Amino acid sequence: MTSLDRAEFEELLKHFQTAWEACVKETASSNQNRQRQPGGGRKPALRTTADKLLFILHYLKTYPLQEILAFEFGMTQGQACYWIQTLSEVLKRALTFMGHLPERNPAQLAASLAESGETKFGIDGTERKRQRPKDNEEQKQYYSGKKKTHTVKNNVVVSLGSRQVKYLSGTCEGKKHDKKICDEEQPTFPEESTLYKDTGFQGYEPPGLNIQQPEKKPRGRELSEEDKQRNALISKVRVIVEHVISGIKRCRIVKDIFRNTKDKFVDLVMEIACGLHNFRTAYRSKSTPAAAYFQ
């Protein structure tokens, strides 16, 4: 129901508590006409911080209708909407405290990757379905010919050793090509590192990198056996990126058709889903070391 086990929930709760207290303090200080002390007034349905964390994790993982979520937690639909918006920001702040959110500034990516000490990365695009826009121009922009439906799209840069999302691009309309997103954002990488990519990024070759990309089949001819073997080896490495994207989409809010209409919320939930994946991966690697994929 939350994508976390008991130990992971309790570990995240420590930082969520700190983030919630900071949020309450900021809200109280911003209201100069406040008469009650923080915590005064009618008691909410979500009494404890653990209740609040369970609420938002359950929503992100299962993505129920707000009416259903409100029924489950004993509140009105309006209250559920309020808590979704509020606690999403608190959860993002908690993941920031823990250092699990992906980099969002493409200019700072090289420094962030160099700090991690890893040298092998994969880049790929991922699409998420959204409700069909009512505006005709929006329909054209968000219609993905690949998925045959209306979508939004992100590029992710994944570290192939630790299997974590190191960079998340901005959320774009589904019509935009993966390579065009890279051309516009220009993410940076440490020199001499290796970048694995698929043919959707044909022509994207940042300087100073060792680029690994499968060979396309020539028109009217077959690939050589050497090229086929090389493509198979690259695919065995690149599948790690697909596994990471699958881990991100354990939160069904970034897998099912997106229904929320609040501005920028579609980008926020993707960032949180990446942060939760990074948290799970880092926490579980402490007890179960990751297999050595590279010699």
| pLDDT digit string, tens, across residues 58-83 | 999 999 999 999 999 999 999 999 99
Q: Residue 3: name the closest of 90, 62, 80, 70 by CA.
A: 62
Does the CA dihedral 273-275-279-285 come out positive or negative?
A: positive
pLDDT bracket for residue 35 (50, 70, 90)? low
Q: Are residues 279 and 134 in the same domain?
A: yes
pLDDT bracket for residue 253 (50, 70, 90)? very high
Domain assignment of residue 40, yes or no: no
Per the CB < 8 A criterion, the answer to whether 127 and 109 are in contact is no
Domain assignment of residue 50, yes or no: yes
Residue 90, pLDDT > 50, answer yes
Q: Residue 241: name the closest of 216, 271, 277, 276 by CA.
A: 277
Domain assignment of residue 1, yes or no: no
Cα–Cα distance measured from residue 110 to residue 179, given in angstroms and rounded to the nearest whole number: 19
Domain count, the chain: 2
Q: Are residues 160 and 266 in the same domain?
A: yes
Q: Residue 164: name the closest of 244, 225, 258, 238 by CA.
A: 244
Mean pLDDT of the region 41-66: 93
Mean pLDDT of the region 134-146: 93
Domain assignment of residue 38, yes or no: no
List the single range of 141-155, 158-172, 218-232 with lowest mean pLDDT.
Answer: 218-232
Domain assignment of residue 37, yes or no: no
Q: Are residues 27 and 151 in the same domain?
A: no
* pLDDT for 43: 80
Furthest C-alpha separation in the chain: 78
* Share above pLDDT 90 across residues of the chain, in percent, rounded to a whole number: 76
Mean pLDDT of the region 73-94: 96
> What CATH number did the domain enclosing 203 receive?
3.30.420
Cα–Cα distance measured from residue 32 to residue 29, given in angstroms and rounded to the nearest whole number: 7
Domain assignment of residue 295, yes or no: no
* pLDDT for 218: 84
Q: Are residues 26 and 172 in the same domain?
A: no
Q: Are residues 55 and 140 in the same domain?
A: no
Domain assignment of residue 39, yes or no: no
Instruction: Identify which has the larger pLDDT, 208 or 281.
Output: 281
* pLDDT for 220: 83
List the single range of 10-24, 182-196, 278-292 with lowest mean pLDDT.
Answer: 278-292
Q: Are residues 178 and 258 in the same domain?
A: yes
Q: Are residues 86 and 62 in the same domain?
A: yes
Mean pLDDT of the region 283-290: 72
Determine the structural domain holding residue 259 and report its residue range.
Answer: 106-287
Residue ending a domain, among 79, 98, 117, is 98
Residue ending a domain, among 58, 78, 98, is 98
Q: Are residues 273 and 137 in the same domain?
A: yes
Mean pLDDT of the region 8-33: 87
* pLDDT for 219: 85
Residue 290, pLDDT > 50, answer no
Q: Are residues 110 and 250 in the same domain?
A: yes
Q: Are residues 68 and 148 in the same domain?
A: no
Mean pLDDT of the region 234-261: 95
Mean pLDDT of the region 163-172: 96
Q: Are residues 247 and 222 in the same domain?
A: yes
Q: Are residues 90 and 210 in the same domain?
A: no
Residue 295, pLDDT > 60, answer no
pLDDT tens digits, residue range 178-204?
999 999 999 999 999 999 998 889 888
Domain assignment of residue 213, yes or no: yes
Residue 277, pLDDT > 70, answer yes
Phi first, then psi: give them for residue 207, nearest 5 degrees.
Answer: -65, 150
* pLDDT for 288: 57
